[in-house]
Amino acid sequence: MAIYNYVATDNLGVRRVGTVDARTEELAISLLKNQGMFVLSLTEKKANLFEFLIELRGVPENEVVNFTRQFSTMISAGLPISRALEILAEQTTNRKMRKILGDILRDVEGGSSLSMAMSRYPKVFKNTYQALIRAGESSGKLDEILNKLAATMEANRELNAKFKAAMIYPAIVFLAMIGVFVIMMVFVIPKLATMYESLNIELPLMTKIMIAFSKLFTEKVYIIFGLAAGGIFGWSRFSKSDTGKSFMSYISFKLPVFGNINRQTDITQMTSTLSLLIASAVPIVESLKIVSDVVKNRVYKEICLEAARRVEKGSPLSEYFKANKNLPPLLGQMASVGEETGQLDQSLEKVADYFAGEVDHAVKGMSAALEPIILILLGSMVGVLIISIITPIYKITASL
Structural domain spans, the chain: 1-46, 144-400
Between the ranges 188-192, 295-299, 344-348, where is the mean pLDDT highest? Answer: 344-348
- Three-state SS string over 165-234 comes to HHHHHHHHHHHHHHHHHHHHHHHHHHHHHHHHHHHCCCCCHHHHHHHHHHHHHHHCHHHHHHHHHHHHHH
More confident residue, 327 or 371: 327
Band of pLDDT at residue 96, cut at 50, 70 and 90: confident
Q: Over 80: is that where the pLDDT of 383 sits?
A: yes
Between the ranges 36-50, 153-167, 190-204, 320-334, where is the mean pLDDT highest? Answer: 320-334
Residue-level pLDDT at 284: 93
Q: Over 80: is that where the pLDDT of 46 sits?
A: no
Q: Over 80: is that where the pLDDT of 31 sits?
A: no
Cα–Cα dist 166/168, whole Å: 6
Of 95-104, 133-142, 334-343, 376-385, the range with the lowest mean pLDDT is 376-385
Contact 338, 348 (CB under 8 A): yes
Q: Over 60: is that where the pLDDT of 53 sits?
A: no
Residue-level pLDDT at 79: 92
Q: Rounded mean pLDDT of 351-370?
A: 84
Residue-level pLDDT at 11: 81
Residue-level pLDDT at 55: 54
Residue-level pLDDT at 190: 86
Q: Helices 127-139 and 284-294, interaxial angle, to 10°?
A: 150
Band of pLDDT at residue 23, cut at 50, 70 and 90: low
Contact 347, 338 (CB under 8 A): yes
Residue-level pLDDT at 323: 92
Contact 6, 31 (CB under 8 A): no
Residue-level pLDDT at 14: 82
Q: Rounded mean pLDDT of 147-158?
A: 86
Band of pLDDT at residue 173, cut at 50, 70 and 90: confident
Cα–Cα dist 288/304, whole Å: 5
- Three-state SS string over the chain comes to CEEEEEEEECCCCCEEEEEEEECCHHHHHHHHHHCCCEEEEEEECCCCHHHHHHHHCCCCHHHHHHHHHHHHHHHHCCCCHHHHHHHHHHHCCCHHHHHHHHHHHHHHHCCCCHHHHHCCCCCCCCHHHHHHHHHHHHHCCHHHHHHHHHHHHHHHHHHHHHHHHHHHHHHHHHHHHHHHHHHHHHHHHHHHHHHHHHHCCCCCHHHHHHHHHHHHHHHCHHHHHHHHHHHHHHHHHHHHCHHHHHHHHHHHHHCCCHHHHHHHHHHHHHHHHHHHHHHCCCCHHHHHHHHHHHCCCHHHHHHHHHHHHHHHCCCCHHHHHHHCCCCCHHHHHHHHHHHHHCCHHHHHHHHHHHHHHHHHHHHHHHHHHHHHHHHHHHHHHHHHHHHHHHHHHHHHHHHC
Quote the mean pLDDT of the chain. 85
Cα–Cα dist 47/55, whole Å: 10
Q: Rounded to 5 degrees, what are φ and ψ at 67?
A: -60, -45
- Per-residue model confidence as pLDDT tens digits over 105-116: 888 888 888 998
Residue-level pLDDT at 51: 53
Q: Which of 7, 11, 18 is nearest to 40 (CA)?
A: 7
Q: Over 90: is that where the pLDDT of 213 sits?
A: no
* Furthest C-alpha separation in the chain: 105
Q: Rounded mean pLDDT of 178-186?
A: 85
Band of pLDDT at residue 351, cut at 50, 70 and 90: very high
Cα–Cα dist 51/17, whole Å: 21
Q: Rounded mean pLDDT of 18-40?
A: 79
More confident residue, 321 or 54: 321
Residue-level pLDDT at 68: 92
Q: Which CATH number does the domain 144-400 belong to among 1.20.81.30, 3.50.50.60, 3.40.50.720, 1.10.645.10?
A: 1.20.81.30
Q: Over 80: is that where the pLDDT of 274 sits?
A: yes
